[in-house]
C-alpha cells in the first residue's frame, strides 16, 4: 500500500467516524475496531500490519482532523510490543485491548535497590503455589515511574535460583491493586515525586500472567528495553490533547494531565538548550568571549545530537535494525544536558542557584541544575552506554563477566532484599 492510499483511506474513515461527543473509551473502541489505533500491529490484534512509515501517516491524519489518538505511555510503547512478541494468545486477548482504549495503565517494575545496571542480579522472588496456580512474590522494586497510579506492572522476578542469573528470571503482568503491593512515592532533589519504591509482600500473580516462558524473562525484558527510548519520543510527540470541545477531548485532556504529571520536569532534565542564546542575550553575557565560545561548543554538540537522532529515526522508518545511533544518542543526550547546566551557570552566575520565583526564569534555571543528573542514569547510565558502544560498536574486549555461569544461589550478591 502506498502512503497516499493509506492517507485517503484513514482520512475518509475519520471524517465518517470521529465524534468528539463520544466518551473517550467509546471512541477508542471504535478506533481499535477499525485497525487505525495501532496500524503497525498485526491484523489479528487490532492492527493493519502496516510498516512504521505508513503508521506515521495515520498519526498525521488523526492529528490533522483534530481527533483523539491512541493513548501515549508505557502500555502502548513498552508493554504492547512486548506482548505482541512474547505473550500467549490468551494474554494478548485479555490485555491488549484495554491498553489501546487507555483503560489499563502500566508501570515498569525492573530496578531494585541492589540491581539497576546489573538488572539480571535481581533478587525479588516468585514461587509457584500449585494449589492456586498463582506465584507468590516477595521483594522490593525501586525507581518505578508512575507506579502510584498504574493498574499493572511489568514485573521481573526470580523463579529459579539454581541456574545462572540470566536464566532464572520470569516476566509477569502483575495487578498493582492488591493487598500485597505497597507503593511509596520518593521525593527527588528537584522537588518532584515521579517515581516510587514498590514493596511486594506475598503479592499474587496468576500463572497465566507469565509473559513468555517461566525462566525466559531476561529475553522478554530485553524486548521491552529495546522500545524504551521510543517511549520518551512518543511522550514528547503525543503528550498533548487536540484542541476543540467534546467529551472525548475533555477526557483525553484529563488523561494526559495524569500521564504527564511525572514527566513535568523532563524538559528541564534535558538541559533546555533552547534557552541558552536567549538567556545570553538577556543577561548581556553574549558579549563575553568565554561565554560565546562555550555557547557555540554546546550548540554544535546539540545540533550533532539532533542529526544523529534523525538518522536513527530514518533507519527505523526504513525498517532497518537499531544501529549504534541508539546508544550514541543516549550519551549525546546526557552530554548536552550536562553542557547546558554548565553554560546556564556560566551565564547566570550564582543566581542560577536561586530556587523558585527568586531565581532566573522563575526558578527554571535552578530546576535545570537539579534535574540534569537524571539523564545520565535513567534508561542505562553513561558508563553502561559506553560499555555497550565499546563492546558492540567498536569491538573492544568485553567487561569481565563475573560468575555468570554459576547458579545464582552461589553468586555473591549486592543484597538489600531477601537473602536466599
Ligand atoms: C528518571 C528515572 C526514571 C526511572 N524509571 C524507572 C522505571 O520506571 N522502572 C525501573 O525499573 N527503573 C527505572 N529507573 C531506574 C534506572 O534504570 C536505574 O537507575 C539505572 O539502570 C541505574 O541503576 P542504579 O541506579 O541501580 O545504579 P547502579 O547500577 O548501582 O550504578 C551505580 C554507578 O556504578 C556504575 N556502574 C555500574 N555497573 C557498571 C559497569 N559494569 N561498568 C562501569 N560502571 C558501572 C554506574 O554507571 C553508576 O555510575 C529510572 C531512573 C531514573 C533516573
Cβ of 111 less than 6 Å from ligand 1: yes
List the pLDDT tens digit at each of the 420 positions of the chain: 799 999 999 999 999 999 999 999 999 999 999 999 999 999 999 999 999 889 999 999 999 999 999 998 899 999 999 999 999 999 999 999 999 999 999 999 999 999 999 999 999 999 999 999 999 999 999 999 999 999 999 999 999 999 999 999 999 999 999 999 999 999 999 999 999 999 999 999 999 999 999 999 999 999 999 888 666 666 666 567 788 899 999 999 999 999 888 999 999 999 999 999 999 999 999 999 999 999 999 999 999 999 988 888 888 778 887 777 777 888 999 999 999 999 999 999 999 999 889 999 999 999 999 999 999 999 889 999 999 899 988 999 998 877 888 999 999 886 655 544
HSE-up (13 A, CA, CB side) for residue 19: 10
Q: Could you read off the pLDDT of 224-234 as tens digits, one per residue?
A: 998 886 666 66
Question: How many angstroms does the Cα of residue 254 sit away from the middle of ligand 1?
Answer: 31
| Ligand 1 atom index nearest CA of 115 | 26
Say how many C-beta atoms besides its own lie within 10 A of residue 168's C-beta: 23
Q: C-alpha cell of 271?
A: 538541559
Q: Pairing relation of β-strands 169-175 and 125-129?
A: unpaired
| pLDDT tens readout for residues 123-144 | 999 999 999 999 999 999 999 9
CA distance 346 to 351: 10
Does residue 291 sit in helix, strand or coil?
helix
**Partners of residue 173 on adjacent β-strands:** 154
- Whole-model pTM over 0.85: yes
What is the best residue among 378, 402, 415 to mutate for testing ligand 1's pocket, by most ligand atoms within 8 Å of CB? Answer: 378
Atom of ligand 1 nearest to the CA of 146: 8
Q: What values do phi and psi take at 312, rounded to 5?
A: -65, -40
Amino acid at each position: 500500500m502506498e502512503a497516499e492510499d493509506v492517507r485517503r483511506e484513514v482520512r475518509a474513515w475519520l471524517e465518517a467516524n470521529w465524534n468528539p461527543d463520544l466518551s473517550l473509551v467509546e471512541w477508542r473502541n471504535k478506533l481499535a475496531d477499525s485497525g487505525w489505533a495501532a496500524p503497525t500491529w498485526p491484523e489479528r490484534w487490532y492492527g493493519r500490519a502496516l510498516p512504521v512509515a505508513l503508521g506515521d501517516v495515520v498519526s498525521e491524519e488523526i492529528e490533522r482532523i483534530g481527533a483523539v489518538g491512541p493513548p501515549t505511555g508505557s502500555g502502548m510503547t513498552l508493554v504492547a510490543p512486548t506482548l505482541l512478541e512474547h505473550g500467549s494468545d490468551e494474554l494478548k486477548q485479555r490485555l491488549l485491548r484495554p491498553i489501546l482504549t487507555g483503560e489499563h495503565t502500566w508501570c515498569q517494575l525492573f530496578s531494585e535497590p541492589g540491581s539497576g545496571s546489573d538488572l539480571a542480579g535481581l533478587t525479588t522472588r516468585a514461587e509457584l503455589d500449585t494449589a492456586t496456580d498463582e506465584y507468590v512474590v516477595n521483594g522490593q522494586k525501586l525507581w518505578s515511574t508512575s507506579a502510584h497510579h498504574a493498574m499493572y506492572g511489568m514485573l521481573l522476578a526470580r523463579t529459579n535460583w539454581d541456574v545462572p542469573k540470566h536464566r532464572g528470571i520470569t516476566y509477569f503482568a502483575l495487578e498493582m491493586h492488591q493487598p500485597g503491593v505497597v507503593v511509596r512515592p520518593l521525593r527527588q532533589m528537584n522537588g518532584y515525586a515521579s517515581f516510587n519504591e514498590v514493596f511486594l509482600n506475598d503479592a499474587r500473580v496468576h500463572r497465566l500472567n507469565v509473559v513468555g516462558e517461566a525462566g525466559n524473562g531476561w529475553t522478554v525484558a530485553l524486548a521491552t528495553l529495546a522500545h524504551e527510548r521510543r517511549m520518551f519520543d512518543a511522550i514528547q510527540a503525543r503528550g498533548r490533547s487536540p484542541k476543540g470541545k467534546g467529551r472525548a477531548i475533555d477526557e483525553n485532556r484529563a488523561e494526559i494531565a495524569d500521564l504527564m504529571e511525572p514527566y513535568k520536569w523532563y524538559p528541564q532534565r534535558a538541559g533546555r538548550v533552547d534557552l541558552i542564546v536567549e538567556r545570553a542575550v538577556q543577561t548581556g553575557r553574549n558579549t563575553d568571549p568565554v561565554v560565546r565560545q562555550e555557547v557555540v561548543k554546546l550548540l554544535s554538540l546539540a545540533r550533532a545530537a539532533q542529526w544523529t537522532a534523525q538518522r536513527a529515526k530514518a533507519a527505523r522508518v526504513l525498517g532497518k535494525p537499531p544501529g549504534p545511533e541508539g546508544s550514541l544518542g543516549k550519551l549525546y543526550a546526557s552530554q548536552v544536558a550536562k553542557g547546558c547546566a554548565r553554560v546556564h551557570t556560566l551565564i547566570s552566575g550564582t543566581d542560577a542557584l536561586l530556587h523558585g520565583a527568586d531565581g532566573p526564569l522563575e526558578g527554571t534555571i535552578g530546576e535545570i541544575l537539579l534535574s540534569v543528573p537524571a539523564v545520565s542514569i535513567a534508561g542505562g547510565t553513561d558508563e553502561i552506554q559506553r560499555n555497550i558502544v565499546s563492546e558492540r560498536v567498536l569491538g573492544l574486549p568485553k567487561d569481565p563477566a563475573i560468575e555468570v555461569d554459576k547458579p545464582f544461589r552461589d553468586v555473591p550478591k549486592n543484597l538489600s532484599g531477601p537473602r536466599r
